[in-house]
Structure 1
Amino acid sequence: MDSTGFTEETFTFFDGLARDNSKEYFHAHHEVYVRAVREPARALARALEEEFGPIKVGRPNRDTRFSHDKSPYKTHVGLVGRGRGPVGRYLQLGLDGLWAGAGYHAMSSAQVRRFREGVDDDREGPRLDRIVDELTGRGFDLVGDTLRTRPRGYAGDHPRVHLLRYRSLGAEHHVERSDELCSPALLETVRADWRALRPLLDWLERHVTS
Structure 2
Amino acid sequence: MTAPPAGPGSEPFTGFPVAALDFYDDLETDNTKSFWAAHKETYESAVRAPMASLVRSLEDEFGAAKVFRPYRDVRFAKDKTPYKTHQGAFVPRGPATGWYVEVAAPGVRVGVGFYEASGPRLARIRDAIADERRGRDLERVIADLESRGWTLGGDKLKTSPRGYDAEHPRIELLRHKSMTLGKSYGFEPFIHTPELLDRVREDWREATPFVRWVADHAGGD
Q: TM-score range by the shorter chain?
A: over 0.9
**Counterparts of 1:131 and 1:90, CA distance in 2:** 18
Query: Which residue, 58, 62, 76 being the options, matches 2:68?
Result: 58
Matched, 1:180 2:190: yes
Aligned to 1:171: 181
Matched, 1:33 2:43: yes
Aligned to 2:86: 76
Unaligned runs of 5+ in 2: 1-10
**Counterparts of 2:191 and 2:130, CA distance in 1:** 40
Displacement of 1:96: 1.3
Displacement of 1:202: 0.9
Query: Which residue, 136, 145, 148 being the options, matches 2:155?
Result: 145
CA contact 2:21–2:103 (8 Å) conserved in 1: no
Aligned to 1:134: 144
What's the CA shift string for 1:44-90, capped at 9, x where partnerless?
11111121110121112111122222111122211111112221211
Paired residue secondary structure (2:94): coil
- Equivalent residues, number: 210
CA contact 1:95–1:177 (8 Å) conserved in 2: no
**Counterparts of 1:21 and 1:148, CA distance in 2:** 33
Normalised to the residue count of structure 2, the TM-score between the two structures is: 0.89
**Counterparts of 1:76 and 1:126, CA distance in 2:** 35
What's the CA shift string for 1:92-139, capped at 9, x where partnerless?
110112221111122122222211211121211110110011111111
**Counterparts of 2:166 and 2:219, CA distance in 1:** 27
Normalised to the residue count of structure 1, the TM-score between the two structures is: 0.93
Query: Which residue, 28, 52, 57 being the options, matches 1:18?
Result: 28
Unaligned runs of 5+ in 1: none
What's the CA shift string for 1:174-205, capped at 9, x where partnerless?
12123221111211221122112211111111
**Counterparts of 2:55 and 2:215, CA distance in 1:** 23
Cα RMSD (Å): 1.5
